[in-house]
Structures are given as C-alpha cells and as structure tokens.
Structure 1
Amino acid sequence: MATDTATDAGSTPANEPIHVDSADDLDALVSEHNVVLTDFYADWCGPCQMLEPTVETIAAETAATVAKVDVDANQQLASAYGVRGVPTLVLFADGEQVEEIVGLQGEDQLRTLVDSYTN
C-alpha cells in the first residue's frame, strides 16, 4: 500500500501541518488542496512558538491544509511572498493567495478566517 504523499492526498486536508521546503512543494500543495494556510515561521521566534499549537489545531479541526515554511531555511520562498516578519500567515483558496496576516493570531480569529473560505 502506498504511503501518504502529496499526490495521494488529493483535496483531502492533512490533519497535521506539512513542512514545505521549496516553492515547488508549496505550489503543489496549493494546487492540490482547496484551502491552504501557510505559516511562515522561525525557530527562534517566540510568537511563532506560541502560534504553533493554534496552527496544529487548525490543521486537525478545519477543512484547511496547513503548510509550515521555515523562513531561515527557505529565505527565497519567504521573500517571494513578501514575508518581512514572522509569524506571517498566508491563506490560499482555490489556488490564489487571498489573505496575509502578520503577527500572532488567536485560534478563533484563524478559525473564522479559514471557515470563511471552506464553508
């Protein structure tokens, strides 16, 4: 039996954040899933660490797929999306970037944002 890969996933959201290491990986996720919340973060960033349980909950409990991009390891990708500070959350719906939020967000705010594109 095949293991769960991006090509097997189809439009079913992943239940946990998916770590993305290239523009191609992110493009593939965005094209394969209806709604993708991308968390641009850094390991040294306190607010990013505080946001981690929230993005895990969003991945587990909503119809969105959550992607995580380490800005230190993927500086070109972060730059391509204009990320200037972390955490930055970029929401894609139907293959298009629809929202960008900079800074720590509450679970209710993120859930409402995601639900507005998934329902």
Structure 2
Amino acid sequence: MTANTRSGESPGDEGVRRPVSLDDEDALDAFVADADAALVEFYTDGCGICASMEPVLGNVARAVDVDVALVNPRDDPPLVERFDVRSVPLFVLFVDGEPVARRAEGFIPGDDLTAWVDEHVA
C-alpha cells in the first residue's frame, strides 16, 4: 500500500491538507477506513479536467476538514466495477468508511464541492 502526495510536500507542510495519491484498492480501503470523512477523486492520466481539480480539492480539504485522495482506477481495474466508474473525474464521498454520495459532472467549482461535502458530512 502506498499513499503519496501528488503535489509533493516539503518538511514545513505539517498540518497542511493536500490530496494524497493512492496506488490501488487496498490503499483506498485503508485511507477511507482511517478517516471520519474522505473525498476521493477517481481520475485518469491525461484528463485535463481531473488535473484542474487538484488545487480545488486541496482548498476543499482545508475548508471542510476532510481527507482527500486521488486514485487512478486504470491502475487497479476492479475499482472501475466496484465504484461504477463511467467517466472521470468521479468524486466519491466516504463517511465512516462507507460511500455516501458521488458526483461525475466534470469540473466542479470549489464552493459547490464544499457545499456538497458539507451537506453529506454534517
């Protein structure tokens, strides 16, 4: 299991929430199990909209105090079927380790995504 920051962290970044890159289904399961609430973006390499969501996700993580991760389901095909990934980016919100909501609408502005997370986590 590996969890890396896609943005990279420097030693002074403790406490700064950034999206974490997950390698596979086991890493995803461990990540959501350890978080009270987690927002996961399913993305693919070369998806411009997916890449443009990364800074938005970092802002959402800080605004609503949720853990945020990114996973490429093409790296672990069972994830495609398990989460019914039909398009990317797909956002799945987990509360207490269980998926509670999902959105697959392309680019979602930060305020909209924050409100959506708040609606399901509160």
> The TM-score by the shorter chain falls in which range?
0.7 to 0.9
Residue in 2 aligned with 1:113?
A: 116
CA distance in 2, matches of 1:14, 1:94: 22
Residue in 1 aligned with 2:103?
A: 101
Residue in 2 aligned with 1:49?
A: 51
Residue in 2 aligned with 1:21?
A: 23
Whether 1:74 and 2:69 are equivalent positions in the alignment is no
CA distance in 1, matches of 2:70, 2:80: 11
Q: Give the TM-score of the pair, scaled to structure 1.
A: 0.79
Q: CA deviation at 1:74?
A: 2.7
**Percent of aligned positions that are identical:** 35
- On the 8 A contact 1:35/1:117 being kept in 2, the answer is no
Q: 1:14 to 1:89 in 2, by over 3 A?
A: farther
Instruction: After the TM superposition, list the runs of 4 or more consecutive aligned residues in structure 1 that deviate by more than 3 angstroms.
Output: none
Q: 1:14 to 1:36 in 2, by over 3 A?
A: farther
Q: CA deviation at 1:58?
A: 1.4
Runs of 5+ consecutive residues of structure 1 not aligned to the other structure: 1-12
SS for the counterpart of 2:84 is coil
Q: Deviation per CA, 1:75-114: give whole Å up to 9, x if none.
A: 3223321111110000011221111100221111110122
SS for the counterpart of 1:97 is strand
Q: 1:73 to 1:14 in 2, by over 3 A?
A: farther
